[in-house]
Structure 1
């Protein structure tokens, strides 16, 4: 029995030492990561990817003898291209070669947290873009919180203000806040059955006051400022609060319409700012988009005159977040989102 007790104590000491070493190692790695960038910018040569795809398909249709001849000719061609590229690099001619089409992807969620990556991508493009370049944003979003999508639209406005041609391609949906972003573009290309529009504002909030009263639970809400809270989850809502809440929604809708009108002056905003959405072909008739087509066809067409370069800023996750999955933080965020949703109108 004494032997087992000593053995258990020995194992406990070993476990303590191992845990302490692991904790120190995690702390050191975490501190070292803090010194690094908060993310990583990744560029993808989309033109090369499309060309490789086309070549693969073309070669696959040839017989064995033809494939051998093709590979031989391709080897010679690439050798000549490499030699020409070296000569061009030595000459250091500014602006030599094809202009570039910078391709960004934005797949927006309700809280539009993806804007953190978008702002980095736009900043990176602005740092190197030439006057003959342009930007394509492949956009997919059903909308969300006003301040999030307002900031996202402002990031795209930075390109417009620098007079860099901007095209937004919508394959699935650009509604509400998503359309707020899209309308900043010089040209909007939408797939035939993509969902476009929904220029409106919505907010809803459950109220549990009667439920709590039936169980004799009192809720106290103290505010400084008459309209610090208009509608609440748990307290008793008033007609005055409801009226103020509706006024705020209407004001937000008015700002939304004014923004769309400034970005697309030829659009009859009053006709389309009803909160309705339309499919791509219908949206073209309404003037909400400029052309029907998919992002794939758009990029293939651009590839004839531009070098396509994909730009993506990948957020770096903290080491502790990778281990824990940020469960507690996610739970807190979800709770706060529900509590605040009634105070945050959605585009």
Structure 2
């Protein structure tokens, strides 16, 4: 009986420990999942990354004896740096942070400008820690898209400008229409020689199936409260008055676009470039759409001297369905971009 009692007590202890471990694990998993759902900032030190690549290549060019000496010198340097850091810690001195920082952000645009949410988080994070000597570089690629999406994305960059943080936008491939709306907020725009720049215009199109439906004896009823609640429709019969109002709305949006570009770049002859056309890097430079012809790589390498260059990315964890729909949307965006590159224009 004694043995059974002790055995039962032992089992109870084991069950208690297992349950406690399960509770702790579940709690940690839930916390981690909530954190991932909120998203997280990932900061990459591009200065260190570049230095490591440089050291690796330098080392590969040395013979065995030279490599041994190089490793010895590096070990000595690291030891001295660690000793100096320890001494500063003992004296209660903070680590030296005199180096200005360059915060590198990335924006790869889609038709709905879905990356604006991540850009918002990145800009907010940079504003929270940026010092007066810091600056921001945005690597931008976008053919444009919906007006409200790119308007909000441009407003996020405006936050940096309002805080007097120098902003450089680099374009390696395309910054057209809504993409250029974002770019023109910058203090400086740098374009690769054959990057597509401009397309300051607005376009909208909608198919109409009314005649087809009528031929099949299908009636469509559309009821609105407000004269211009619907101007053009997909299924109903469009009127000349509706078409005229639709064109007026497009022209108004175009005027707002032009005014925005003019405010951001007052020296630009907006009327000359706001024709919906696009230009390549060197042509864009001649027209005043950009300030320099160069690649983003050279811009960032040029800023590394005497500065700490950090890449900031906000990573949002996607649910399984979001991953599927997101992949489908990205495929559609790539298809639309190919059409655009064959002569079509983006929405904005």
Task: Tell me how far apart the structure 2 counterparts of residues 278 and 110 of structure 1 sit (CA, whole Å).
Answer: 20
3-state SS in 2 of match to 1:217: coil
Deviation of residue 97 (structure 1)?
3.0
Say if 1:242 and 1:316 are closer, same or farther in 2 by CA, change over 3 A.
same
Following the alignment from structure 1 to structure 2, what is the Cα–Cα distance between the partners of residues 245 and 169? 35
User: What's the TM-score, normalizing by structure 1?
Assistant: 0.82
Aligned residue in 1 for 2:20: none
Alignment of 1:124-273 (within 5 A): 124-273=125-274
Deviation at 1:267, TM superposition (A): 0.6
Is structure 2 residue 73 aligned with structure 1 residue 65?
A: no
CA distance in 2, matches of 1:210, 1:29: 57
* Alignment correspondent of 1:292: 293
After superposition, what is the alpha-carbon deviation per residue over 1:103-140, rounded to whole angstroms, capped at 9, x for unaligned?
Answer: 00000100001000000000000000000000000000
Query: Helix, strand or coil: the match of 2:172?
Result: strand
CA shift, 1:80, in A, is 2.0
Per the TM alignment, residue 96 of structure 1 is displaced from its structure 2 partner at its CA by 2.8
Runs of 4+ in 1 over 6 A off after TM superposition: 28-32
Shift of 1:37: 5.5
Does 82-91 or 123-132 show the bigger shift?
82-91
- Count of aligned pairs between the two proteins: 306
| SS of aligned partner of 1:104 | strand
Q: Secondary structure at the match of 1:135?
A: strand
Separation (CA, whole Å) in 2 of partners of 1:222 and 1:92: 72
**CA contact under 8 A between 2:210 and 2:235: conserved in structure 1?**
yes
Q: Is contact 2:169-2:183 (8 Å) kept?
A: yes
Q: What is the RMSD computed on CA atoms of the aligned residues?
A: 2.5
Partner of 1:47: 47
Unaligned ranges ≥5, structure 1:
1-25, 335-344
Which has the larger displacement, 47-56 or 77-86? 77-86
- Unmatched 5+ residue regions in structure 2? 1-25, 333-345
Q: CA deviation at 1:273?
A: 0.5
Q: CA 1:306 to 1:216, structure 2 compared with 1: closer, same or farther past 3 Å?
A: same
